[in-house]
Chains A and B, each alone.
Chain A
Amino acid sequence: MATEFTVPDVAAKTAAAANQEFETEKMSLAMGPSHPSTHGVLRLQLELDGETVTHCAPVLGYLHRGDEKIAENMTYNQFVPYTDRLDYLAPLASNAAYAAAVEKLANLEVPARVQAIRVITSEMARVSSHLMGLGAYGIDVGAWSVFFYCFTEREKLYTLFEELTGARFTTSYSRIGGVSRDVPEGWTDKVVAFCDQFLPILEEILKLLTRNKIFMDRTVDVGTISAADAISYGLSGPNLRGSGVKSDLRKDRPYWGYEQYDFEVPVGSKGDCYDRYLCRGEEMRQSISIITQAIAIFPAGSYYAEDARRIFAPKKAKILSSMEELINNFMIVTEGPQMPAGEAYFEAENPKGTLGFFIVSKSGGVPWRMKIRGPSFCNLSILPKVCQDELVSDVVSILGSLDFVMGECDR
């Protein structure tokens, strides 16, 4: 027999009435600046509805050191160490891009050997940067072992960098018109030996992720960027190519003799995090191929432009024995390499994207204005759009897939 309630249950009634309209409010969450997945000091001011991101506002500038202001106050060669700190995960590539920009302003041709050295070091920097990006991305989405494999290989590269430049991280290898010292004897053989043993390990590393169910669940169809958006927001590097835009300055506007090397430009089909990961993996294979090709035809000759007497400091032995060389060295050190007046813009295809230098010179040894176009700065500008309506856990996945570095973003 059914029970009939004659007296209404007041407590139950109020509870039901209250439940009719849930009190909803959005949560504001500051992600960073000290957050492992922001890979540095980036802060994302997120507005969340439950777990869905309704608004994402990146806050930059925590690593702003005023590099452009500093560049205006020192000679061209003095700025080389500062370029190490732009993309500090691939300093060799930043060094070379900066030197190439100044050489373009000076209309200075560097010898074939310098070009080959720059190609080899830049591609090694690309491999080491992508290894770092891949390892950190693995951790971001919960795959620890990738990190260890990547860092073991990266360490071997850094040993090679140390032998070449004298430093592991802050290499400062470029000079205007050349490089700081020639390749040591036997170094290229070690690079080839590294490449030979690296390729099978790279396949092993990629095998850990490429068909990994968890990794694919975290990345496929997450953070999709259309080709039109990628171009409009000024994305570059693997982030642009991941969206299917076949744009690579090494192919499109070859510099340093990139046209002699046979390599492919991988592009994605969908523009999601998974495509960007695949692009980076393939780029490492192509870089290794470029390195071995460049070493195979490694030209003899000088490691600096010998005709650039007002730009590149003479050899130490000559300075100590010859009056003219001593004076020349003194003038270059005190006044800086003498540049003509003019404006030049050069950008190189760096691991993170296209790193550009716009130099305005009024002649003399100091640039009047130097604008640095950091690829990570542009790559991050799409975050508010791409994070919209994604889950907060996917923001981590998106950040890792963009593979940015705050050094060149905040400059």
Chain B
Amino acid sequence: MTAIASDADVTASLQAKFPAATLRPSVDHPAVNVPMGEVIAVLQWLRDEQGFDYCVDVTAIDWAEDVSPRFTAVWHAYSTTGHRYVRVAADCTDDENPSVPTATGLWAAADWHERETFDLMGIHFEGHPDLRRILMWDGYPHHPLRKDFPLAGIETELPDIEVAEETQAKVIAAPMAGGPFVASSKGEVNMTDAEPRAKDESWNEQTPKPE
């Protein structure tokens, strides 16, 4: 393990080692974009050669359904000796079935983070030993953090089919649509869009929910 002099050194030596890596705009920590195929090699190099021994989190960004590449996976690593962070990002090549190699071989912490990302974002982590849902229940059909999932929720049958048949019970969508504290997520400075309203604008108080 070599001592790190500065944040710029991390990215510079990373780019020397992995020429395909490009700098990623960041307001705080050193950040790089790497091709999906090299991610594990980059992370391993950061862990073994640069002292980033601590996996802070593994997550993903959905850039909306009409954008390609749609999903970007993001790793944050921390050095408990050098006291600095690094951010590694990689675009998923497949927009329909995004897939990312697992980092569970490097950090045990990646196990649950990857399960969470799979659960909420629907990204498959190849080689993960136990890729199950972690926050939603096992039979849940959707990935709620995707941008095409409405904030108001989607009615879904209860996990146990037998219970659902017996009780005719359904999970009722959260009563958020049309609520007062919901603003547009488009991020535009536009009064009409930014005025508090539901993101799912297909139905609200005026237009009844389609059956």
Chain B residues whose C-beta falls within 8 Å of the C-beta of A74 in the assembled complex: 181-183
Query: What's the minimum C-beta distance from B92 to chain A, rounded to whole angstroms?
Result: 15
A208 at the interface (CB under 8 A from B): no
A378 at the interface (CB under 8 A from B): yes
- A342 to B134 alpha-carbon distance, docked (Å): 29
Chain A residues whose C-beta falls within 8 Å of the C-beta of B191 in the assembled complex: 334-335
B184 at the interface (CB under 8 A from A): yes
- A411 to B151 alpha-carbon distance, docked (Å): 15
B108 at the interface (CB under 8 A from A): yes
Query: What's the minimum C-beta distance from B11 to chain A, rounded to whole angstroms?
Result: 15
Chain B residues whose C-beta falls within 8 Å of the C-beta of A342 in the assembled complex: 25-27
CB pair A78–B181 under 8 Å, yes or no, is yes
Known: A247-B80, A369-B62. A343 touches B25 (CB 8 A): yes
Residues of B whose CB lies within 8 Å of any CB of A are 24-29, 31, 53-57, 59, 61-62, 74, 76, 80, 83-85, 87, 107-109, 111-113, 116, 120, 133-137, 144-145, 149, 151, 181-189, 191, 194-196, 199
CB pair B188–A234 under 8 Å, yes or no, is no
CB pair B107–A343 under 8 Å, yes or no, is no
CB pair A410–B185 under 8 Å, yes or no, is no
Chain B residues whose C-beta falls within 8 Å of the C-beta of A78 in the assembled complex: 181, 183
Q: Which listed residue (A61, A344, A347) contacts B27, Cβ 8 A?
A: A344
List, sorted by A's number, 5 A–B pairs whose CB atoms are closer than 8 Å: A105-B27, A233-B108, A361-B187, A371-B74, A381-B108
Within 8 A of B (CB), among A54-91: 60-61, 64, 66, 68-70, 72-75, 78
CB pair B134–A61 under 8 Å, yes or no, is yes
The residue on B at minimum CB distance from A381 is B112
CB pair A356–B56 under 8 Å, yes or no, is yes
- A363 to B56 alpha-carbon distance, docked (Å): 25
A9 at the interface (CB under 8 A from B): no
Consensus secondary structure, chain B interface: loop
Nearest first, the 9 closest Cβ-Cβ pairs linking A and B are A234-B109, A364-B187, A252-B83, A61-B135, A362-B187, A381-B112, A371-B59, A64-B135, A335-B194
- A64 to B120 alpha-carbon distance, docked (Å): 11
Residues of A whose CB lies within 8 Å of any CB of B are 60-61, 64, 66, 68-70, 72-75, 78, 104-105, 107, 229, 231-234, 245, 247, 252-253, 334-336, 338, 340, 342-347, 354, 356, 358, 360-366, 368-369, 371, 373, 377-378, 381-382, 385, 410-411
Chain B residues whose C-beta falls within 8 Å of the C-beta of A233 in the assembled complex: 107-109
Known: A245-B80, A334-B196, A335-B191. A368 touches B54 (CB 8 A): no
Chain A residues whose C-beta falls within 8 Å of the C-beta of B186 in the assembled complex: 364, 366
- A411 to B57 alpha-carbon distance, docked (Å): 15
- A410 to B76 alpha-carbon distance, docked (Å): 20
Chain A residues whose C-beta falls within 8 Å of the C-beta of B116 in the assembled complex: 377
CB pair A104–B53 under 8 Å, yes or no, is no
Chain A residues whose C-beta falls within 8 Å of the C-beta of B83 in the assembled complex: 252-253
Extra pairs beyond A61-B135, A345-B28, A377-B112 (17, CB < 8 Å) = A61-B136, A73-B151, A74-B181, A105-B27, A231-B80, A232-B108, A233-B109, A345-B29, A356-B76, A358-B57, A358-B59, A360-B61, A361-B187, A362-B187, A364-B187, A366-B185, A371-B57
Chain A residues whose C-beta falls within 8 Å of the C-beta of B113 in the assembled complex: 234
- A354 to B133 alpha-carbon distance, docked (Å): 24
- A105 to B187 alpha-carbon distance, docked (Å): 15
Q: Which listed residue (B28, B31, B61, B87) contacts A104, Cβ 8 A?
A: B28
Query: What's the minimum C-beta distance from A103 to chain B, rounded to whole angstroms?
Result: 11
Chain A residues whose C-beta falls within 8 Å of the C-beta of B137 in the assembled complex: 61
Chain A residues whose C-beta falls within 8 Å of the C-beta of B194 in the assembled complex: 334-336, 364-366
Chain B residues whose C-beta falls within 8 Å of the C-beta of A66 in the assembled complex: 144
Query: What's the minimum C-beta distance from A172 to chain B, rounded to whole angstroms?
Result: 13
Q: Which listed residue (B25, B27, B54, B189) contacts A231, Cβ 8 A?
A: B54
CB pair B135–A73 under 8 Å, yes or no, is no
CB pair A368–B185 under 8 Å, yes or no, is yes
CB pair B109–A363 under 8 Å, yes or no, is no
CB pair A335–B57 under 8 Å, yes or no, is no
CB pair A358–B112 under 8 Å, yes or no, is no
Chain A residues whose C-beta falls within 8 Å of the C-beta of B134 in the assembled complex: 60-61
Chain B residues whose C-beta falls within 8 Å of the C-beta of A365 in the assembled complex: 183, 187, 189, 194
The interface centre, meaning the residue of B29, B107, B113, B183 with most chain A CB atoms within 10 A of its CB, is B183
Known: A78-B183, A107-B27, A234-B109. A73 touches B199 (CB 8 A): yes
Known: A74-B183, A342-B26. A358 touches B76 (CB 8 A): yes
Query: What's the minimum C-beta distance from A208 to chain B, rounded to whole angstroms?
Result: 33
